[in-house]
Chains A and B, each alone.
Chain A
Amino acid sequence: MLKGLLVLLLFQGVGEAISHYSGIPIPGPVIGMILLFTALQLSPRTLPIGLGEAAHLMIRWLSLLFVPACVGFFFLTTTSTSQWLAITGVIVLATLLTMVATATLMAHLLAKQPELKSERSG
């Protein structure tokens, strides 16, 4: 578990360093994620239990990590009232619209997939 957390932090650090020194406009943690994914795919060993546990813990408590950013939203003073209408409209309308469109498309695409293929691999 602790070892797993160390692995995650190590990849985060390497990702940040690459993002910082290379000037690529991709955030460090994303580079870290891509590197860790590649490493796991290339490794012939099965996933270390500790790493699985650490990752599961981080993802399970993801909501907690969003709280400070969420609070910031209530304390934004530089944005004018007229911009707030646009922002609220976007959050509600665009999100719902995207979900409906995406779910419809994916259900349609999966329906066309042969049933056997997805069952065997799932």
Chain B
Amino acid sequence: MLTIITPALLLLTFVAFSIAFWLYNTSKVQPVLCSLLHPLVTAPLLVSAVLLLSNIDYGEYRNANQPLFFLLGTATVALAVPLHQQFHHILSLAKPLLLTLLFGASFAVISALAIAWLLGANGETLISIAPKSVTTPIALGIAEKIGGQPGLTAGIVVFTGVIGAIFGPVLFRWLGTTDDRVKGFVLGICAHGVGTARAFEISAKCGAFSSLGLGLTGAITAIVLPWIVIYVLK
């Protein structure tokens, strides 16, 4: 029985994602509808519905989809490539990029912790929230190292990305941001992989700057956050 279910659950992810991706693309003529139909909103809903209807628990689904969790790590390594290709931009824009990066990465962590604390989050939730702007594989690694709940962190991280990818373009219009370098870098810092996927839809340059923001934020947060949490929150 298990031998049939395991590949079927992996296939479920692909099928749900294909449907979600098709919905997203066909709704492109309706910008508002389209942003609400982000593949990372519809695909997980479809999967959850199937799991609930067929009485399969999440643990079993998660085990079947272990290869995708592993590939998230491979995707993290792959980010070295756009980083390498765009490195001349970093050199020529080193100062503004580094300042934005340091500000954005720390603002993301501090604002998240402050708002969570004001809304009454407990210690464990706070620790799970801290790595929220970092890309999932990095965030999971950090959460495990600092004692948060990996499941909660993964969810928070992904939905942070979805919110960023959905509302980012709206915010840029509202702020009057037209520079693809700014859009990309901000999406990468604030909305990591999900934002980067969105940035590549805007333009190749936007995507490259997003990978840059994502990679740098991830690396810096992964290096700095564990030490801060060890000394401040414990």
Mask for B31-66, Cβ within 8 A of A = 1, else 0?
Answer: 000000001100111011001000001100110010
How far apart are the CA atoms of A31 and B179 in the complex, in Å?
31
Residues of the B chain whose Cβ atoms lie less than 8 Å from the Cβ of A102 = 100, 103-104, 107, 186, 189-190
Residues of the A chain whose Cβ atoms lie less than 8 Å from the Cβ of B177 = 103, 107
Residue from B87, B125, B133, B154 in contact with A72 in the complex, judged by beta carbons closer than 8 Å: B154
Mask for B96-138, Cβ within 8 A of A = 1, else 0?
Answer: 1001100110011001100110011110010001001100111
List which B69-99 residues lie within 8 A (CB) of chain A: 69, 71-85, 87-89, 91-93, 95-96, 99
Residues of the A chain whose Cβ atoms lie less than 8 Å from the Cβ of B185 = 106
Report whether A59 and B219 are in contact in the complex, using a CB–CB cutoff of 8 Å.
Answer: no
Residue from A37, A79, A110 in contact with B80 in the complex, judged by beta carbons closer than 8 Å: A37
Report whether A67 and B43 are in contact in the complex, using a CB–CB cutoff of 8 Å.
Answer: yes
Size of interface on B: residues with Cβ below 8 Å to A:
111
When A30-B141, A106-B96 are in contact, do A66 and B158 touch as well, CB less than 8 Å? yes
Interface size class of A (residues with CB under 8 A): 35 or more
When A67-B44, A73-B158 are in contact, do A94 and B112 touch as well, CB less than 8 Å? yes
Per DSSP, chain A at the interface is helix
Residue from A8, A76, A113, A118 in contact with B77 in the complex, judged by beta carbons closer than 8 Å: A8
Residues of the A chain whose Cβ atoms lie less than 8 Å from the Cβ of B76 = 12, 27, 29-30, 32-33
When A72-B58, A91-B132, A110-B181 are in contact, do A30 and B218 touch as well, CB less than 8 Å? yes
The answer to the question of A78 belonging to the interface, with a C-beta cut-off of 8 Å to chain B, is yes
Residue from A66, A91, A92, A110 in contact with B193 in the complex, judged by beta carbons closer than 8 Å: A66
Residues of the A chain whose Cβ atoms lie less than 8 Å from the Cβ of B138 = 27, 29-30
Report whether A68 and B16 are in contact in the complex, using a CB–CB cutoff of 8 Å.
Answer: no
Report whether B122 and A71 are in contact in the complex, using a CB–CB cutoff of 8 Å.
Answer: no
Most B CB atoms within 10 A — which of A12, A74, A87, A95?
A95
> Could you list some 15 contacts between A and B, CB below 8 A?
A12-B76, A30-B141, A33-B83, A58-B74, A62-B75, A63-B197, A65-B71, A68-B62, A68-B69, A73-B152, A101-B104, A103-B171, A103-B172, A106-B186, A122-B92
Residues of A within 8 A of B (CB): 5, 8-9, 11-12, 15-16, 19, 25-30, 32-34, 36-37, 40-41, 47, 51-52, 54-56, 58-60, 62-76, 78-79, 82-83, 85-87, 89-107, 109-110, 112-113, 117-118, 120-122
Task: Taking A33-B79, A72-B155, A98-B107 as given, write out 12 further A-B residue pairs in contact, using a Cβ cutoff of 8 Å, ordered by the A residue number.
Answer: A33-B80, A64-B14, A66-B161, A71-B48, A72-B154, A89-B115, A98-B189, A103-B177, A105-B104, A110-B182, A121-B93, A122-B205
Residues of B within 8 A of A (CB): 13-14, 16-17, 39-40, 43-45, 47-48, 51, 57-58, 61-62, 65, 68-69, 71-85, 87-89, 91-93, 95-96, 99-100, 103-104, 107-108, 111-112, 115-116, 119-122, 125, 129, 132-133, 136-138, 140-142, 145-146, 149, 151-152, 154-161, 163-164, 167-168, 171-172, 175, 177, 179, 181-183, 185-186, 189-191, 193-194, 196-197, 200, 205, 207, 211, 215, 218-219, 222-223, 226-227
